[in-house]
DNA sequence: CTTTCTTATGCTCAAGATTAGCATAATCAC
DNA sequence: GTGATTATGCTAATCTTGAGCATAAGAAAG
C-alpha cells in the first residue's frame, strides 16, 4: 500500500497541502426550465468556462454546510433553502489544475432555491440541459443522441477483446437505454462518466485523457464546465431526480401556492420526461401531498385550476412521501 | 475555484492545516448477524474506544477510493468488494480532538465484504447492534426503547416553547416510531443524531455538549466509538438499509451459492426486521434476482432447500433490482 | 418406524396501486 | 360563438402486495 516515505505507522502523518473547495449545485425551476446558478468570471482561473459557485473551506466555518451557505450567499446574493451534501471528489487527475505537492478536494452540495429577480453580477441562471442536452426527453428522444449513438457503438467495437466488447455494450445499453433497455432518468452521472471515459466530454481532453479524439467532441452541443464542475452538476441532477420520488423536495422549488399542472411541469423539467396528467394528479392527491388553498387560478389558457399548497403533515403521515413518476408513453 | 498555494488571488485563501481521514464501514453478515470491522488499538489515540478502520489521505493515492482500499486492506488483511462513498464529515466541534489551527475531515465509505476466518491482529468483527441496540427489531421491539422513550419524552417536555415542544414531539415520533408513527428502519442516522443532540449518546458529552446529563447516559447498553465513527457507522447502516431495496447489493455479502432462507436471514439482519417468508420468496423469484444452481442443501433442519445463485442478468433487465421488504407483522 | 418439529414450496384471496384512456367542464383567443 | 386548451371526474384491466392455508420432505426423539 502507499506510504509516504517518512512515515512509521500508526503515527505522525506526512503533511501535504490539501485544499478543500465547497461547491454548490443550486437549482431553481423557472418557466418550466430547470436552472443552475452559474458563476462566469472572465478570469483566467476558469479559462472562461462556466463554473458552479464555490469557495474554499475556511477555519471560520463551523460546519461544512454553513461554509457552503456563506460562499453561495455571498456570490449569488440569494438565500438558500434546502441543502444536502452530494459527494466528495478528489481524483488526482480529474482537473486541469495539477498540483504536484498537494491535493484539491471538492465537496459538492445540492441546494434548492427559488429564482429571485436579480442574480448578482457575474452570476446567472442557466438551463441545466445546456450542459447535458441528452438528458431532456420532454419533447421525445433528444436528437443529439442520434449523433452520440454511433460514437458509443464505435467505442464498443473498439474494445480490445470479445469480453470487453460485451461489457462495453452492456454499459452503453443500460446507461443510454439502447438495445431494448429502458431510458432511466436517474443515470445522469453514469452517462456523463461514460462520455468522459470515451472521450466525448471536452473535460476529458483538457485533463489529458488517453482515449478519444479531441476534434471529434460534441463541444458546441454540450457546454463543458471548469474543473470537475460538470461532474458535480451531473451528480446533483441525478440525486435530485432520484429524491423527488421519495421526499417532497420539489416543493422547495415551488411558490407557496401553485396549481397541479405547475407542479407537474416542474417535476417534468427536473426529470426530463413527460408525465401522464391524470395519473400524476391522482398520485399527488392520494398521497396527501397538497391541500387546496380555496383559490382558483384563471388565465392558464383553459378552465381555471384549483390553487393548492404543500401539506406539511405528510411528513409525519407517510414514511416516503414523494412523486412517483407516472410516465406518459 | 481551487488554486494551488503558490498562486495569486482572486481570493488568497487563509491557509490552514486540513487533514483528511478515509474511514470505512466494512460490513459482513455472519451467522445471521450484521458485523462491522473494528480496530481496537490499546492506544491513547482512541481512548481505548472502538474505531472503524481508517487512515489519512496521502499524496500517493490516485483516487480517494484507492486510498481507502489501501488502508483497510493493510489494517484488516481482507479484500474489499463493493465500495461506495457515504458522506464527508467536517463539523469543527464534533470530535474530542480539537485542533485550533486546523481541521479534520473524515470521508466515510461503505464497503461490503465476506468475513474471512482470521481478522488481522487488533481488528475484529463486531455485531453492529452493539452500537445501536435500538435498531434490531427482529425479536420484536427492542427493550432498550422502553428505557429511552421516557428520556425522549422528557426532552420534548423540556422544550422552551409550545412550538418547540411540538417540533420535538414530531421529531421523536417520526424517528422512533412513537405515537402511531411507523418504525422506519432507514432512519438510523436521524435516530443517532437525535440521541446525540439530546445528550443520550456518550460522544456528545465527550465533545462537550451543552445539553444532557453525563451520568444519565446509556453507555453500558450502547457502545460508543471514537471520534465521529459511530456517526459514520450510522450513516453506513442507513445507506445499506436503503440500498438493498433497489440495488442487488446483498449478494456481495452472500457466498456464491445459498438458499433463499439464507438470503432472507441476511436481509433481515441488515434491516433489523423480520420478513414474511412466502412473500419474500415470491419477490425474489419474480424479480429474477436468482437462478437455481441445481443443487439441494440438506441439513437445514427441515425439508432440503434448493440452492440458488445471484443472476447477473437482472442488472441489464431491471432498472432497480432490489429486495423490497415484505415485512412480517 | 412413527410421531413431531422444522423448513421448503405451491397457491389463493382480497385489497390496493398503476396504466391508459374516455368524457365532460370551464376559460381563452379570435 | 367556435375551436383550442386546460381542468377534472371516472373506469376497466392489470399488477402488486399483504396474509395465510396447505402440502412436502428431512431431522430428531421415542
Residue A162 belongs to domain spanning: 132-222
Report chain C positions within 7 A of protein CB atoms.
Answer: 5-12, 17-23, 25-29
Question: Are A152 and A84 part of one and the same domain?
Answer: no
Question: Are B120 and B142 part of one and the same domain?
Answer: no
For residue A108, the SS3 value is strand
A199-213 pLDDT, tens digit per residue, is 999 888 877 755 555
The pLDDT value recorded for residue B217 is 55
Percentage of the residues of chain B whose pLDDT score is greater than 90: 64
The pLDDT value recorded for residue A44 is 55
Question: Are A91 and A141 part of one and the same domain?
Answer: no
Question: Are B124 and B182 part of one and the same domain?
Answer: no
The pLDDT value recorded for residue B43 is 60
In a domain, A24, yes or no: yes
The pLDDT value recorded for residue B233 is 98
Question: Are B294 and B261 part of one and the same domain?
Answer: yes
Cell of A44: 483566467
Smallest CA–C1' distance to D27, residue: B301
Other Cβ atoms within 10 Å of B274 Cβ, number = 17
Question: Are B30 and B101 part of one and the same domain?
Answer: yes
Whether B14 and A59 lie within 8 Å, measured CB to CB: yes
Identify the domain boundary among B75, B99, B129.
B129
Residue A306 contacts strand D, CB under 7 A: yes
Closest alpha carbon to A305 in A313, A314, A296, A294? A296
Smallest Cα distance from A299 to chain B, Å:
39
Question: Are A99 and A60 part of one and the same domain?
Answer: yes
We report the CATH number of the domain holding residue B82 as 3.90.79.10
Q: Does B84 touch chain A (CB under 8 A)?
A: no
The pLDDT value recorded for residue A178 is 93
Smallest Cα distance from A301 to chain B, Å:
37
Helix axis angle, A229-243 to A188-198, nearest 10° = 150
Residue B319 contacts strand C, CB under 7 A: no
Question: Are B122 and B72 part of one and the same domain?
Answer: yes
Q: Does B197 touch chain A (CB under 8 A)?
A: no
Return the percent helix, strand and coil in chain B, to nearest 5. 35, 20, 45
The pLDDT value recorded for residue A211 is 55
Residues 267-286 of chain A within 7 A of strand C, judged by CB, are: 276, 278-279, 282-283, 286
The Cα–Cα gap between A65 and A86 comes to 11
Per-window interface: A 218-237 vs B, CB < 8 A = 226-227
B299-324 pLDDT, tens digit per residue, is 778 889 999 999 999 988 888 899 88
In a domain, B324, yes or no: no
The Cα–Cα gap between B269 and B325 comes to 12
Asked if residue A227 has pLDDT above 70, the reply is: yes
Least confident of A139-143, A177-181, B45-49: B45-49
A294 phi-psi bin (left φ>0, alpha ψ -120 to 50, beta other): left
Pairing of the two strands B102-112 and B83-89: antiparallel
Q: Could you give the count of Cα atoms lying within 13 Å of A135 in the half-sphere of its Cβ?
A: 27
Q: Does A106 touch chain B (CB under 8 A)?
A: yes
Closest alpha carbon to B288 in B265, B257, B315? B315
Asked if residue A179 has pLDDT above 70, the reply is: yes
Question: Are B23 and B119 part of one and the same domain?
Answer: yes
Asked if residue A42 has pLDDT above 80, the reply is: no
Q: Please say whether the beta carbons of A306 and A292 come within 8 A.
A: yes
The pLDDT value recorded for residue B1 is 39
Smallest Cα distance from A297 to chain B, Å:
33
Q: Does A54 touch chain B (CB under 8 A)?
A: yes
The pLDDT value recorded for residue B99 is 63
CA B313 to chain centre: 28
Q: How many structural domains compose chain B?
A: 3
Residue A59: which of B4, B16, B20 has the nearest Cβ? B16
Report chain D positions within 7 A of protein CB atoms.
Answer: 4-11, 16-22, 24-28
The pLDDT value recorded for residue A139 is 92
Asked if residue A143 has pLDDT above 80, the reply is: yes
Asked if residue A105 has pLDDT above 50, the reply is: yes
Give the residue, B42 or A72, on which the prediction is more confident. A72
The pLDDT value recorded for residue A318 is 85
Residues of chain A in contact with residue B19, where contact means CB-CB under 8 angstroms, are 13, 15, 18
Residues 244-273 of chain B within 7 A of strand C, judged by CB, are: 259-261
Segment A31-53 mean pLDDT: 83
Backbone φ and ψ of A92, nearest 5°: -65, -30
Identify the domain boundary among B103, B129, B155.
B129
Scan for cell 415520533, then name that residue: B173
Identify the domain boundary among B113, B129, B145.
B129
Segment A55-84 mean pLDDT: 89
Give the residue, B188 or A90, on which the prediction is more confident. B188
The pLDDT value recorded for residue A45 is 61
The pLDDT value recorded for residue B118 is 67
Pairing of the two strands B33-39 and B17-30: antiparallel
Q: Does B5 touch chain A (CB under 8 A)?
A: yes
CA distances from B328 to B137, B139, B249, B268, B279 (A): 11, 12, 22, 11, 9
Instruction: Kindly write down the DSSP assignment for every residue of B233-284, as one continuous string.
Output: HHHHHHHHHHHTTTS-GGGGGS-SSB-HHHHHHHHHHHHTS-B-HHHHHHHH
In a domain, A152, yes or no: yes
Q: Could you give the count of Cα atoms lying within 13 Å of B124 in the half-sphere of its Cβ?
A: 7
Q: Where are the alpha helices (DSSP H) in chain A?
A: 64-76, 144-157, 162-176, 188-198, 202-206, 229-243, 260-271, 277-287, 314-317
In a domain, B61, yes or no: yes
Mean pLDDT of residues grouped by 10 in chain B (329 residues)?
Answer: 36 64 95 93 70 91 92 83 95 69 89 82 91 96 93 96 96 93 95 94 77 54 91 98 95 96 96 96 94 89 91 88 85
In a domain, A68, yes or no: yes
Question: Are B139 and B122 part of one and the same domain?
Answer: no
Amino acid at each position: 500500500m502507499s506510504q509516504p516515505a517518512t512515515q512509521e505507522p500508526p503515527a505522525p502523518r506526512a503533511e501535504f497541502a490539501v485544499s478543500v473547495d465547497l461547491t454548490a449545485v443550486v437549482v431553481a425551476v423557472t418557466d418550466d426550465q430547470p436552472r443552475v446558478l452559474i458563476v462566469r468570471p472572465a478570469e483566467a482561473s476558469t479559462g472562461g468556462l462556466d463554473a458552479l459557485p464555490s469557495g474554499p473551506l475556511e477555519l471560520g466555518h463551523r460546519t461544512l454546510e454553513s461554509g457552503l451557505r456563506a460562499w453561495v450567499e455571498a456570490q449569488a446574493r440569494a438565500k438558500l433553502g434546502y441543502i444536502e451534501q452530494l459527494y466528495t471528489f478528489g481524483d488526482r487527475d480529474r482537473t486541469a489544475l495539477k498540483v504536484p505537492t498537494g491535493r484539491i478536494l471538492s465537496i459538492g452540495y445540492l441546494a434548492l432555491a427559488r429564482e429571485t429577480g436579480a442574480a448578482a453580477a457575474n452570476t446567472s441562471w442557466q438551463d441545466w440541459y445546456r450542459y447535458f442536452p441528452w438528458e431532456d426527453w420532454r419533447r421525445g428522444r433528444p436528437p443529439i443522441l442520434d449523433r452520440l449513438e454511433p460514437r458509443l457503438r464505435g467505442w464498443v467495437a473498439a474494445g480490445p477483446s470479445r469480453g470487453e466488447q460485451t461489457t462495453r455494450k452492456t454499459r452503453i445499453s443500460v446507461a443510454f437505454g439502447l438495445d431494448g433497455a429502458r431510458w432511466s432518468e436517474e443515470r445522469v452521472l453514469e452517462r456523463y462518466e461514460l462520455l468522459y471515459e470515451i472521450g466525448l466530454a471536452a473535460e476529458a481532453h483538457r485533463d489529458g485523457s488517453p482515449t478519444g479524439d479531441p476534434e471529434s467532441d460534441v463541444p458546441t452541443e454540450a457546454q463543458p464546465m471548469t474543473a470537475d464542475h460538470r461532474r458535480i452538476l451531473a451528480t446533483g441532477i441525478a440525486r435530485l431526480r432520484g429524491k423527488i420520488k421519495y421526499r417532497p423536495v420539489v416543493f422547495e422549488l415551488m411558490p407557496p401556492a401553485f396549481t397541479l399542472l405547475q407542479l407537474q411541469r416542474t417535476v417534468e423539467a427536473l426529470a426530463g420526461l413527460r408525465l401522464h396528467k391524470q395519473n400524476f394528479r391522482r398520485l399527488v392527491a392520494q398521497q396527501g401531498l397538497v391541500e387546496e388553498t380555496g383559490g382558483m387560478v384563471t388565465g392558464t389558457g383553459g378552465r381555471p385550476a384549483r390553487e393548492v399548497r404543500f401539506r406539511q403533515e405528510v411528513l409525519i403521515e407517510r414514511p416516503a412521501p414523494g412523486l412517483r413518476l407516472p410516465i406518459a408513453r
